Amino acid sequence: MRLQAVDLKLGYGDRIIVDGLDLGIEAGTVTTIIGPNGCGKSTLLRALGRLLKPSGGEVLLDGKRIDRMPSKEVARILGVLPQAPTAPEGLTVADLVARGRHPHQTWYRQWSSDDESAVSEALSMTGLLELGDRPLDELSGGQRQRAWISMALAQGTDLLLLDEPTTFLDLAHQIEVLELVRRLHGELGRTVVMVLHDLNLAARYADRLVAMRDGKVIASGTPAEVLTEGLLAEVFDLDAKVIEDPVAGTPLVIPIGTRAHPPS
Amino acid sequence: MTSPSERLVNGRPLRIGSASWLLRLRSAAVALILLASVAALMALTMRIGDIPMSVPEVFQAITGDGSNHFVVMELRLPRALTGALVGAALALAGAITQAVARNPLASPDILGVTGGASVTVVAITMAAGATTGGASGPLAEVGIPLAALVGGLVGALTVYLLAWRRGMDGYRLVLVGIGVSAVCTNVKYWLLTVGDVNDTGKAMVWITGSLNGRGWEHVVPVSLALAVLIPLTLLGTRSLGALRFGDDTVTGLGVRMNLARGLMILAAVLLAATATASAGPIAFVALAAPQIALRLAGVAQPPLVVSALVGAALTTAADLISRTLFSPVELPVGVVTAVLGAPYLIYLLIRVRRKARS
């Protein structure tokens, strides 16, 4: 078990969002957290990546309490791509990606050959070598998202947490990002945990799905186990048919209507 | 053969054993040119005074022991050095503040240093004026800088305490800083209004920022502060670079955000307070120097060393202008930096607004 949440209690201020949650992420899997807006999936991801301090319970990274490990050591094991990240204006793609090497550097070790090859590799994996010297603010949404993923790759961690890596992207770019995730997992054996909104893409690109509602895990397992008509009703209040995806063989959700307003 | 990333990151790797650095050639070249400019500007300012000298005469006076030796070594060199060092310290404080606040319009003024120092110095000048007939002699030499230092630090502490909410947020810091500055400005003007006219005049010169009559006793504290703070700040350069990103990215990269932010702000406060104690609150240097530096160096974030050198050059150039423009009348250097800086601030504001619109 690479990453584990034990009796986790999360919230902002007095507002409790997640209470008593247990979850385990196994090595070498792509896990996708799904659930309706405000169910606490991003909050959970932030806590797994020690961006949010739990108000109760604990997060274990390779069996050790993540909040007791030096932050820099964690950053060499686990990379996080936050939702809607911000960078200083005028920063070039290559400088952004090079920043990913931060946890491997010290004041006397600022640009090793390891740093250099990791940055080259991350840029080429995301197809950004040609755009390396372009300012980030001049890129399209898809390119920018790839640049941020590239930064997380340059960090060289074998655990990656991605918070809605496909938001604001058109379908082709969403597929592009998710195929990149698939390759990270397939070719490099990385463990990935991500939050996605699109259920059909989640089913296609994840080994395991975790369905959440109101801060609780309602179901977890393979996409076929989790994405059932009953669960969609329970988690999303959605009337839907689930058929087999003719391309990937994974579950495909065909919405009928919401339970609140069924079609007449 | 150069690897693709070597070409893209725009620098030359410098590797000795397991140690490695990235040498930014353009920044290094800019730094050298600036260093030469500062030296040249200082030589030009040292020509000016009751006994006009040419640049070669200034150098002769430094190396030889003629009649001009005392004038240059005891009066002109310390003044020129104070200007350059104060400018460097202010610029460095500005570069740090802009990075931590993630805002190119931020300056150490929002850290409460300038406001706190100004109010304290004005209050002391008024109080001393009423009882001892004006701040002069030892009180002016030690008392005023010390009062400015203490006042600046108290101002900064006030801002820090008010801005802290389970962590330091750049936006909140800017807002609280502006509020505290406004309060300080009003208290300052109230004191100036109720005070004696002669004291008010003295206080006005100080709060504008002046290099007049600065001697070795002003050079030493700034030099010491810079000697300690510059290396410490440079050690934090990488953290500072990371702090410009969003909070989650900063933490994700393994930076202990609140600690790094706190230490960098402390460094900026100490730099700004020392500079203000030596020469008064010289306006706009801290704001403009880092922004000029990043454009000269062609990088996205103000480089610290280049910023410090731009600050030194700006302040020395402003001093030169303040003494030659209406010669023999000498303006306080802060007037010149303010006149040059105000249009620049407006330019920055317009640019930021355009950016926000597009």
Report which of residues A72 and B121 the model is more confident about: A72
Q: Does B255 touch chain A (CB under 8 A)?
A: yes
Whether the CB of A21 is below 8 Å from some CB of chain B: the reply is: no
Q: Using 50, 70 and 90 to split pLDDT, how confident is the model at A162?
A: very high
With CA atoms as reference, the chain A residue closest to B253 would be A75
Residue B358 has pLDDT above 70, yes or no: no
Confidence of residue B23 (pLDDT cuts 50, 70, 90): confident
Q: What is the pLDDT of residue B131?
A: 44
- Whether residues B256 and A71 touch (CB distance < 8 A) is answered with yes
Partner residue opposite A94 with nearest CB, options B8, B242, B254: B8
Output DSSP code: residue A126: T
Which of 286-345 (B) contact A at CB < 8 A?
A: 300-301
A167 in contact with B at a CB cutoff of 8 Å?
A: no
Please list every residue in chain B whose beta carbon sits closer than 8 Å to the beta carbon of residue A77.
Answer: none
Q: What is the pLDDT of residue A263?
A: 55
Residues across chain B: 358
Report yes or no: B289 and B340 within 8 Å, Cβ to Cβ.
no
* B19 vs A: CB within 8 A: yes
pLDDT at A167: 84
Report CB contact under 8 Å: A74, B254.
Answer: yes
Which range (A131-145, B121-135, B228-242, B333-347) has the least confidence? B121-135
- Residue-wise pLDDT for A90-140, tens only, equals 899 999 999 999 999 988 888 888 999 999 999 998 889 999 989 998 998
Domain ranges within chain B, ordered by starting residue: 27-352
CA B11 to mean position of chain CA atoms: 28
Among A78-82, A143-147, B188-192, B347-351, the range with the most confident prediction by mean pLDDT is A78-82
Q: Identify the pLDDT of residue B340.
A: 86
Q: Which residues does chain B have within 8 Å of residue A76's beta carbon, measured at their own beta carbons?
A: 254
**pLDDT (tens digit per residue) in B98-135:** 998 888 888 888 899 989 998 998 888 887 764 444 44
A80 pLDDT above the threshold of 70: yes
Cα(B230)–Cα(B334) distance, integer angstroms: 24
Contact assignment for A133 to B8 by CB distance below 8 Å: yes
- How are strands ordered across the β-sheet holding A30-34? A78-81, A159-163, A191-195, A30-34, A208-213, A216-221
As a dihedral over the C-alpha atoms of residue A59, residue A62, residue A65, residue A70, rounded to 10 degrees, the angle is: -120
A 10 A CB-CB count for B44 gives 18
- What's the full length of chain A, in residues? 264
Please check whether residue B67 touches A, CB under 8 A: no
Stretch among A46-55, A84-93, B33-42 having the lowest mean pLDDT: A84-93
Which value does ipTM take for this structure? 0.91
Instruction: State whether residue A128 sits within 8 Å of chain B by CB.
Output: no
Q: Within an 8 Å CB–CB cutoff, is residue B16 touching chain A?
A: no
Q: Tell how strand A56-61 and strand A3-12 pair up.
A: antiparallel
Question: In chain B, which residues have their Cβ closer than 8 Å to the Cβ of A80?
Answer: 248-249, 251-252
Q: Is A130 on the interface with B (CB under 8 A)?
A: no
Average pLDDT, chain B: 86
Q: What is the mean pLDDT of residues B173-179?
A: 89
Contact at CB, B300 and A76, closer than 8 angstroms: no
Average pLDDT for chain A? 92
Average pLDDT over residues A141-169: 92
Residue B1: band (very low, low, confident or very high) from pLDDT cuts 50, 70, 90 = very low
Most distant CA pair in chain B, distance = 75
* 3-state secondary structure at position A47: helix
User: Above 90 in pLDDT, residue A157?
Assistant: yes
User: Chain B residue closest to A108 (CA)?
Assistant: B19
CA–CA gap between residue B139 and residue B146 (Å, rounded): 9
pLDDT of residue B132: 45
User: Three-state DSSP class for B281?
Assistant: coil
Residue contact A124–B4, C-beta within 8 A? yes
In the structure encoding, which two tokens stand for residue B111, read together?
């850290």
pTM: 0.89
**Band (B248; pLDDT cuts 50, 70, 90):** very high
Nearest CA in chain A to B250: A51
Asked if residue B18 has pLDDT above 50, the reply is yes
Could you give the residue ranges of the DSSP H alpha helices within A167-228?
Answer: 171-188, 199-205, 223-226
A163: tokens are 């918070």
Q: Using the beta-carbon criterion (under 8 Å), do A88 and B102 form an inter-chain contact?
A: yes
From residue B352, alpha-carbon distances to B294, B347, B356, B358 in Å are: 16, 9, 6, 10
Contacts of B245 in chain A (CB under 8 A): 85-88, 99
Within an 8 Å CB–CB cutoff, is residue B246 touching chain A? yes
Residue B82 pLDDT more than 90? yes
Chain B positions in Cβ-Cβ contact with residue A93 (cut-off 8 Å): 8
The CATH fold assigned to A3-258 is Rossmann fold (3.40.50)
As a whole number of angstroms, the distance between CA B177 and CA B107 comes to: 10
pLDDT the model gives residue B344: 81
| Architecture of domain B27-352 in this structure | Orthogonal Bundle (1.10)
CB contact under 8 A, A72 and B254: yes
Q: How far apart are CA A214 and CA A195, in angstroms?
A: 16
Residue B253 pLDDT more than 70? yes
H/E element, B163: helix B144-163
Note the pLDDT tens digit of each residue in A217-247: 999 999 999 999 999 999 999 999 999 999 9
Mutate to test the interface with A, among B234, B247, B248 (most CBs of A within 10 A): B248
Instruction: Report pLDDT for B226.
Output: 86
Q: Is residue B50 within 8 angstroms of chain A, CB to CB?
A: no
Closest CA to B95 of B227, B233, B201: B233
More confident residue, B172 or A39: A39
Strand order in the sheet with A64-65: A15-25, A3-12, A56-61, A64-65
Long-range pairs for B344-351: beta carbons < 8 A, 24 or more residues apart? B344/B284, B344/B287, B344/B288, B345/B105, B345/B284, B345/B287, B345/B288, B348/B104, B348/B105, B348/B291, B349/B105
- Residue scoring higher pLDDT (B131 or A170): A170
Contacts of A149 (CB under 8 A, 6+ apart): A81, A126, A162, A165, A177, A180
Average pLDDT over residues B310-314: 96
Contact criterion met (CB < 8 Å) for B22 and A119: no
pLDDT score of B139 = 56
Residues 6 or more apart whose Cβ sits within 8 Å of residue B34: B296, B306, B309, B310, B312, B313
* Euclidean distance between CA atoms B186 and B199, whole angstroms: 18
**Interface contact flag, B254 A50, Cβ < 8 Å:** no
Determine, for residues B238 and A105 on separate chains, whether the beta-carbon distance falls below 8 Å: yes
